[in-house]
């Protein structure tokens, strides 16, 4: 019994090392990746509890991710699209989305570096917003976050080409500025809200065709931002 006990202990120690080594190696090497998605539709089948009136200016709800950028976020836009949008119009809409957040803090949060041919979803030290196909018809956009401890090191957003897109809130299409303002909230370290009561906030995790009310930040969105970056 004693021999078995010490063998078991030796095996346990070896296993612990095997378990610990790859972990510490990955903590030093490549950062962890998290994907957050904006869902099409809404959550539960429970009776509708979405407030009839826009209450976002008085709703203080927000949720923080465990990590956020500790520096100004330099980002690039790939305006390549199948919707006939001019590059300048795409850049205008997307920078307007980032500026909504920047306006609410004295911290210099975003810096658009221009356009790029690079794609979103690749860990390549470029923070990129781009259209691309994502293999889930219920996902409007996906934000990829790479982080080490509580520090984000790269963020990309892919707008899913499964959907039609609009620069002007057209019905039956996803509005670029509406969705990108939400996605940039993730870049700022905010998490999704899924309760019906949070429907009118930018960080509500569901969206739909023709929606534009996420373009404007609500109280909770601003409080969450300022919790991280100050007023």
Q: State which residue, 18 or 100, has the beta carbon closest to Zn ion.
A: 100
Cα gap 30→146, rounded to integer Å: 9
Looking at the Cβ atoms of 36 and 73, the one nearer to Zn ion is 36
Q: Which residue's Cβ lies closest to Zn ion?
A: 192
Closest CB to Zn ion among 90 and 141?
141
To Zn ion, the closest distance from the beta carbon of 153 in angstroms equals: 19
Give the residue among 70, 34, 56, 52 at the shortest CA–CA distance from 146.
34
Minimum CB separation of residue 29 from Zn ion in Å reads 28
Nearer to Zn ion, 128 or 182 (CB): 182
Given strand 73-78, what is the order of strands in its sheet? Answer: 110-115, 73-78, 127-132, 151-160, 139-148, 32-40, 206-207
C-alpha dist (Å) from residue 174 to 106, 178, 210: 30, 8, 6
CB of 185 to Zn ion, least distance (A): 7
Instruction: Using the minimum distance from each CB to Zn ion, give the nearer residue, 40 or 229.
Output: 40
Judged by DSSP in three states, 210 sits in coil
At its nearest, how many Å lie between Zn ion and the CB of residue 37? 7
For the chain, counts of helices (H) and of strands (E): 4, 9
Cβ atoms of residues 79 and 132 within 8 Å: no
Q: For binding to Zn ion (CB under 5 A), which residues are involved?
A: 36, 38, 192, 205
Task: Compute the least distance from the CB of residue 219 to Zn ion, in Å.
Answer: 18
């Amino acid at each position: 019994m004693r021999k078995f006990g010490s063998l078991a202990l030796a095996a346990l120690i070896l296993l612990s090392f095997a378990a610990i080594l790859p972990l510490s190696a990955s903590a030093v090497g490549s950062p962890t990746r998290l994907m957050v998605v904006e869902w099409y539709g809404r959550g539960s089948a429970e009776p509708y509890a979405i407030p009839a009136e826009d209450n976002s200016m008085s709703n203080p709800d927000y949720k923080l991710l465990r990590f956020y950028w500790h520096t100004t976020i330099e980002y690039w836009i790939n305006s390549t699209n199948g919707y006939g949008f001019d590059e300048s119009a795409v850049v205008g809409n997307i920078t307007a989305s980032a500026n909504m957040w920047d306006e609410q803090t004295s911290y210099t949060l975003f810096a658009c570096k221009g356009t790029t041919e690079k794609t979103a979803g690749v860990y390549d030290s470029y923070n990129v917003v781009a259209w691309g196909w994502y293999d889930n018809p219920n996902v409007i956009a996906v934000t990829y976050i790479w982080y080490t401890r509580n520090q984000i090191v790269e963020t990309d957003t892919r707008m899913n080409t499964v959907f039609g897109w609009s620069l002007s809130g057209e019905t039956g299409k996803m509005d670029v500025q509406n969705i990108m303002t939400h996605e940039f909230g993730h870049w700022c370290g905010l998490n999704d809200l899924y309760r019906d009561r949070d429907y009118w906030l930018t960080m509500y995790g569901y969206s739909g065709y023709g929606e534009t009310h996420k373009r404007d930040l609500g109280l909770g969105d601003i409080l969450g931002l300022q919790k991280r970056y100050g007023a």
